Structures are given as structure tokens and as C-alpha cells.
């Protein structure tokens, strides 16, 4: 089965000044033409997502900081899955169209992420399907 969601921990190339993470070439190739980039935060106990995209491929980078969890399915009628993050490093999540997904802040403080998308933002292209 071709997985619609892939999660990898990013290597920290930082030094005494702080963290430094690079997006792997494979993730950039997955997104293809980058048509939208957005940065957002999630307050403690809150969730962003609970939707899937009809056409858009997305690469999400969860920044170090607050503990969080990512919740997803592989399409309508598939089992729900979840992965927890301790907030110690950055995590890259690539998401194919059709996979519902949500990110929840399970820790103290603010959880930050950046999303790179293959299509410009269009609210009609995101379809609600709750996974958390």
C-alpha cells in the first residue's frame, strides 16, 4: 500500500546559537512547485486541521518547542493513526491528497509549524474529516 502520510525527524545542524534544520530535497520534490507557504501556531490544548485536500500536496515542519501529536488517516474508511512528538527536535510530515490530518498541541507553550503546499490556498479544496 502506498502510504499517504510520511513522518521523519529532521537532523539538527545547529550550534551554540540555536537550532538549524533543512528541508530534505525529497520533501521539496514531493511538493513540486511551491505555490503557498504559511506559518502558524497552536495554543496549548488546541487543534489545527481535521481536513484533507482534494489536490494539494503538503509538507509540514513542526518546530521544536511544545509537545504535540499528529493525527491522520490514509483516506475515507481507513483506520486513524497518531504520532506523538516530545518537542525536542523538528519533524517533517508529508501529506498526499485525500489523507485527513490534524496537529494538536499537547504541551505547555506554543507549538509552531510551517506548511509548504503545491497549490495556492483555496478553502473549497480542503474538506472536513475529523481525525482527533
The pLDDT assigned to 33 comes to 92
pLDDT of residue 116: 96
Residues of the chain scoring pLDDT < 50 = none
The pLDDT assigned to 42 comes to 98
CATH of the domain at 106: 2.60.120.10
Domain of 48, in residue numbers? 5-128
Domain count, the chain: 1
Residue 52 is predicted with a pLDDT of: 98
| pLDDT at residue number 20 | 97
User: What per-residue confidence (pLDDT) applies to 1?
Assistant: 59
Tell me what pLDDT residue 2 has. 78
CA atoms of 6 and 9, how far apart (whole Å)? 10
Quote the percentage of the chain above a pLDDT of 70.
99
pTM of the entire structure?
Answer: 0.95
Amino acid at each position: 500500500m502506498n502510504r499517504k502520510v510520511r513522518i521523519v525527524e529532521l537532523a539538527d545542524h545547529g550550534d551554540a546559537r540555536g537550532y538549524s534544520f533543512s528541508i530534505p530535497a525529497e520533501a521539496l520534490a514531493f511538493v513540486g512547485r511551491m505555490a503557498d507557504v504559511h506559518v502558524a501556531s497552536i495554543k496549548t490544548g488546541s487543534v489545527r486541521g481535521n481536513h484533507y485536500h482534494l489536490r494539494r500536496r503538503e509538507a509540514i515542519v513542526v518546530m521544536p518547542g511544545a509537545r504535540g501529536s499528529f493525527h491522520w488517516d490514509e483516506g475515507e474508511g481507513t483506520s486513524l493513526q497518531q504520532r506523538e512528538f516530545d518537542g525536542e527536535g523538528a519533524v517533517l510530515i508529508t501529506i498526499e491528497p485525500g489523507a485527513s490530518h490534524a496537529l494538536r498541541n499537547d504541551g505547555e507553550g506554543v507549538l509552531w509549524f510551517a506548511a509548504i503546499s503545491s497549490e495556492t490556498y483555496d478553502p473549497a479544496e480542503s474538506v472536513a474529516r475529523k481525525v482527533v
